[in-house]
Each structure stands twice: as structure tokens, then as C-alpha cells.
Amino acid sequence: MTFVVTDNCICCKYTDCVEVCPVDCFHAGPNFLVIDPEACIDCTLCEPACPAEAIYSEDDLPATFQHFVALNAELARLWPVLDAAIAPPADAADWNGVPNKLSYLKR
């Protein structure tokens, strides 16, 4: 099993999750973070830490977010590890809760 970052992280990228992860699972792109499924030890700490409620256990992932499993695995191979919190985008609060943001994902 792993944990999965989903749609509402896109354009929010608060990075609170990074601070709690004990094994540096998070990889950061321009406006989204993903979890490396090979590195995640299922500690559960990141899920409640995310202000955008964007992180799910793979076992609890809603059907509408199933495509994020492959997306996390793919982008974790491409993007560098982020192991310390950084400032969110200036307009992060405006994007929090906006549905279906995948078309805004920057690679």
C-alpha cells in the first residue's frame, strides 16, 4: 500500500506534508507534489497534516481519484525530493477546493 496525493494539491502545494514524512517520500514539481510509492512506509502522518485534504491511503482512495496512483508513481520518478517545507504559491488559498484541477498541472 501507499499514500497518494490527489487533485486538490494542484496549485495549492502547501508542503505541510513534507515536514511530517519520516522517509522523504515527497517529490515536488512546479505546482503539485507526489508520493513515491516505493518509499512510502504507510506511517499515515501526512494525511491529517495536509490542509487541502488532498492525501489518501491507496485503500481509501475514491474511485474518481484512481488515476492519481499511476500519476504519483510516474512523477515521483521525474521530480526531485522535497524534504523541507517551502512557502506556498501566493494564490494557494484561491485554488483550495476548486475541483478538477488536473488540466492545470505543470510538469
Count other Cβ atoms within 10 Å, centred on residue 90: 7
Site for ligand SF4, residues 64 to 103, rule: CB under 6 A: none
Distance CA 49, CA 54 (A): 10
- The least distance separating ligand SF4 from the CB of residue 89, rounded to whole angstroms, comes to 10
Name beta bridge partners: 81.
27
Q: Please identify which residue in 3, 56, 79, 95 interacts with ligand SF4, judged by CB under 6 A.
A: 3
Output 41 or 70, the one with its CB closest to ligand SF4. Answer: 41
Q: Tell me 79's DSSP state.
A: S
Binding string to ligand SF4 for residues 16 to 55, with x set by CB under 6 A, is what?
Answer: xx--xx-x-x-------x-x----xxxxxxx---x-x-xx
Binding site for ligand SF4 (CB under 6 A): 3, 5, 9, 12-17, 20-21, 23, 25, 33, 35, 40-46, 50, 52, 54-55
